Chains A and B, each alone.
Chain A
Amino acid sequence: GAVVSQHPSRVICKSGTSVKIECRSLDFQATTMFWYRQFPKQSLMLMATSNEGSKATYEQGVEKDKFLINHASLTLSTLTVTSAHPEDSSFYICSARAGEGAAYEQYFGPGTRLTVT
């Protein structure tokens, strides 16, 4: 149980375009989903927290107008990188938590590697 999927696994887009990444909890309802960004050989940096049906909470320094997050249902959250630039190239990972689970009880998706050319 507790499987989280992401789609696509890899995406290449041209500078200036937008790309959408989906995160789904396959066998549980995720009241909270988290989006992380990870640059090569670096740690996971939390970008934002989203709760179903409400606006996402962004971490300091993350542009909410550039990284649009929608948590429309208990099993789906999307991250849209708008007007992507080469510096947005990174590994984007989502995680999901059910109900009132502890913070460490997050289940991670396999990640999406974004390359902006």
Chain B
Amino acid sequence: QQQVKQSPQSLIVQKGGISIINCAYENTAFDYFPWYQQFPGKGPALLIAIRPDVSEKKEGRFTISFNKSAKQFSLHIMDSQPGDSATYFCAASNRGRGSTLGRLYFGRGTQLTVWP
């Protein structure tokens, strides 16, 4: 089953507006929550990531809000620009057995369109 649920599937925002994408998870063992941005013809690129001991992380116009009790996290894009038009994926992972590496469980993605 889908380990990470992402919404909305698509989002249209006016230039200068705030884009908000939400994700929810069930597995309380997850301890790393990255967001990726993907443009057509390219692989996903890491935007920003957060760990569950922090409730918010901001990098430039991008902010992750994390609610551990609700098992939800969201991406806020402030002052959205046409160049932000892309597909955004949330993801989660947990520490593997005897390893610091782990697989990423991705949400289904949100196609963001920012129009001028």
Binding between chains A and B? no
Task: Please list the residues of chain A having a beta carbon within 8 angstroms of any beta carbon in chain B.
Answer: none
